[in-house]
């Protein structure tokens, strides 16, 4: 796996979570009795929150943003020790911006 594939996996996970909460019956959301416009607004908010959360985590791993108030880069590797991306090399930042902010 490389940085681009790693980011793609994060994007897929974000989309799965969004679909899980918005495209399936959800007792907590359904109990709000939202109008179609309100439901659209909630879905937009959920999409924004998930996008920002996943993007920020990737930026934090790259060293371009803080995680819990601590800003430092991390080297990400798989369980076999194969390096996916190195601290501050910009690969996560570049790929995450493309995946999460380009339309």
Quote the percentage of the chain above a pLDDT of 90.
Answer: 85
- Quote the number of domains for the chain: 1
Q: pLDDT tens digits, residue range 17-46?
A: 999 999 888 899 999 999 999 999 999 999
Q: What's the confidence (pLDDT) of residue 103?
A: 64
**pTM for this entry:** 0.89
Mean pLDDT score, 59-86: 93
Q: What's the confidence (pLDDT) of residue 79?
A: 93
Task: Report CA-CA distances (Å) from 89 to 8, 44, 54, 76, 101.
Answer: 18, 32, 19, 11, 20
User: Residue 75 in contact with residue 87, Cβ under 8 Å?
Assistant: yes
Q: What's the confidence (pLDDT) of residue 60?
A: 94
Determine the structural domain holding residue 36 and report its residue range: 3-101
Helix (H) or strand (E) holding 85: strand 83-85
């Amino acid at each position: 796996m490389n940085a681009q594939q790693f980011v793609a996996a994060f994007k897929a996970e974000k989309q799965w979570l969004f679909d899980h909460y918005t495209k399936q019956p959800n007792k907590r959301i359904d109990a709000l009795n939202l109008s179609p416009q309100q439901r659209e607004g909630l879905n937009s908010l959920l999409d924004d929150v998930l996008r920002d959360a996943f993007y920020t985590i990737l930026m934090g791993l790259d060293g371009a943003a803080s995680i819990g108030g601590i800003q430092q880069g991390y080297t990400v590797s798989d369980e076999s020790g194969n390096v996916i991306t190195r601290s501050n090399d910009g690969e996560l930042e570049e790929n995450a911006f493309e995946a999460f902010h380009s339309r």
